[in-house]
Amino acid sequence: MGMNDLEDFRESVGESGPVAVVGGRTHWTVGGNPTDDTRLVSAPVGIDSFDPSEMTVSVKAGTTLKDLNEELSRYRQEVCLEGSSETTVGGALMIGTDGIRRNLIGSVRETLLQAEYVDAKGKLIKAGGPTVKNVTGYDLCRLLVGSLGTLGLVGRVILRTRPQSEKSVWLQGGLQPEEARHVCFQPSSLLWNGKETFIQLEGYGIDVDSEVLKLKNLGYEEMGTKCPISIPRFRHKFVNGMCLDGGIVDVYSSILYKSTEAAEPQHSNEVVRLGNKVRTMFDPSGRLNPGRDPYRAGP
């Protein structure tokens, strides 16, 4: 059954004409809109196999993160992809931005072990491998992460899973980011609103409790398991000394989250030339997500 779905997907992509996959549409305009003549197709849906002891899951790209995490949580595991209830696995990988818990759970790019995608010629290609240690050849499948569907249209992936944390807690207090970084041992998130820092601690209960105690002695207050501040949607690059303007800084990734969109990023000519060369190699006729440009997307 699983294989047939991929075959149907390959057929729907076909061998010619402009085409793009539509996921949950939550970040549809990132990198620009596809041209009006672009045919929109959907990726197949469903979890093919989940092996809790191997900590890997094979899942079709149109599956929502919500459905995937529901299944994984039955074994107290999760994947390091974040989004809203409509977000699809394929969309989260193609947007590719890391979340605020990256310090603990790793990057989106590292989560992807294998991808099966339809290339510009309409062929089904398998890149990467099902095991965590896989060191032969170019790391093709990870090149797809953040490519906004301009290099291939993804039908199925194998993702690395991780155990859910035994305990998770947010604290709020007055240390400045640099001080806070040195006080705690590997917090999973560290946010700053210009006045206070918000620290998320995760792990085994006993470890978390001792870190909590340390922070409480420094005047921190325990805020529960949910992030106590709302994080605005748009990502800006944060540089020390920058005015936060009501935004929230993710200290580990130097991203400033704001409610206004960032200006288009500037890249050097060399970077743009190399990016275009790779795109042309994957898609000589320019049929995959035409109009969309990963280099126009923010950080």
Ligand X SMILES: Cc1cc2nc3c(=O)[nH]c(=O)nc-3n(C[C@H](O)[C@H](O)[C@H](O)COP(=O)(O)OP(=O)(O)OC[C@H]3O[C@@H](n4cnc5c(N)ncnc54)[C@H](O)[C@@H]3O)c2cc1C
* Near ligand X by CB under 6 A: residue from 63, 88, 111, 200: 88
Would you count residue 21 as binding ligand X (CB under 6 A)? yes
Stretch that binds ligand X, among 18-26, 121-129, 194-202, 267-275 (CB under 6 A): 18-26
| Spatial CB neighbours of 13, under 8 Å, sequence gap ≥ 6 | 19, 41, 118, 122, 153
Report the nearest approach of ligand X to the CB of residue 171 (Å): 19
| Spatial CB neighbours of 196, under 8 Å, sequence gap ≥ 6 | 172, 173, 174
Q: How many residues bind ligand X (CB under 6 A)?
A: 32
Q: Distance between CA atoms of 241 and 122, rounded to whole angstroms?
A: 49
Stretch that binds ligand X, among 23-31, 159-167, 192-200, 238-246 (CB under 6 A): 23-31
Report the nearest approach of ligand X to the CB of residue 230 (Å): 10
Would you count residue 68 as binding ligand X (CB under 6 A)? no
How many other CB atoms sit within 10 Å of the CB of residue 140? 16
- Binders of ligand X among 124-153, rule CB under 6 A? 148-149, 153
| Spatial CB neighbours of 192, under 8 Å, sequence gap ≥ 6 | 176, 177, 198, 244, 248, 249, 251
Stretch that binds ligand X, among 87-95, 185-193, 239-247, 268-276 (CB under 6 A): 87-95
φ, ψ of residue 296 to 5 degrees: the values are: -90, -10
* Near ligand X by CB under 6 A: residue from 19, 154, 159, 175: 154
Rg (CA), the chain: 20
Stretch that binds ligand X, among 80-88, 170-178, 216-224, 257-265 (CB under 6 A): 80-88
